[in-house]
Amino acid sequence: MNMTAKTFYEEAGKKLSQASEELYRPEEDVVTYLVCQSSHLAIENYLKGFLIQNEVNPESFSSVDEMFSECKKINSKFAEVNLEGHSFEPHTDESRYCDSRVSRCYELANSLDTFLREERIIG
């Protein structure tokens, strides 16, 4: 499947919106796994979109951390984006997925979205 940068950016935006909607439900209704999973997928799709936009195949990277490092090589301003404190490795126990840091997962994805908008990479 030949996916364009725009496709990845659109999917990332959808995932970020899903995370936001879930996060801002009444506390007893929030499904933390969905917030973190959607946030993670948003980050992953934003990075893939940026790599494709810069003619780099994202499939050649085995992790989100590797993609993020490559993005920083392409555009040094990516170093301004702080993705520290978020594990990009999948959790095996979904009931504990990102439980204590659920809002942090969303904040990281949202900060990447904000950065890409400020840099006019996405609209």
The CATH number linked to 20 is: 1.20.120
| pLDDT score, position 80 | 94
Q: Which residues lie closer than 8 Å to 39 by C-beta, 6 or more apart? A: 15, 16, 19, 105, 106, 108, 109
| pLDDT score, position 2 | 58
Whether residue 36 is contained in a domain is answered as: yes
Whether residue 35 is contained in a domain is answered as: yes
Which of 22-26, 83-87, 112-116 ranks highest by mean pLDDT? 112-116
Whether residue 30 is contained in a domain is answered as: yes
Comparison of pLDDT for 64 and 97, the residue scoring more: 64
Q: Which residues lie closer than 8 Å to 34 by C-beta, 6 or more apart? A: 18, 19, 22
Whether residue 82 is contained in a domain is answered as: yes
- Name the one residue in this structure whose structure tokens are 């392409």: 74
Whether residue 99 is contained in a domain is answered as: yes
Mean local confidence (pLDDT), 46-54: 98
3-state secondary structure of 22: helix
Q: How confident is the model at residue 93 (pLDDT cuts 50, 70, 90)?
A: very low
Quote the CA–CA distance of 33 and 19 in Å, as a whole number.
10
Ramachandran region of residue 98, left (φ > 0), alpha (ψ -120 to 50) or beta?
Answer: left
For residue 56, give its domain range.
5-118
Q: How confident is the model at residue 92 (pLDDT cuts 50, 70, 90)?
A: very low
What domain count does the chain have? 1
Whether residue 68 is contained in a domain is answered as: yes
Whether residue 45 is contained in a domain is answered as: yes
- Name the one residue in this structure whose structure tokens are 């950016």: 9
Range from 9-18, 20-29, 110-119 carrying the lowest mean pLDDT: 20-29
Whether residue 71 is contained in a domain is answered as: yes
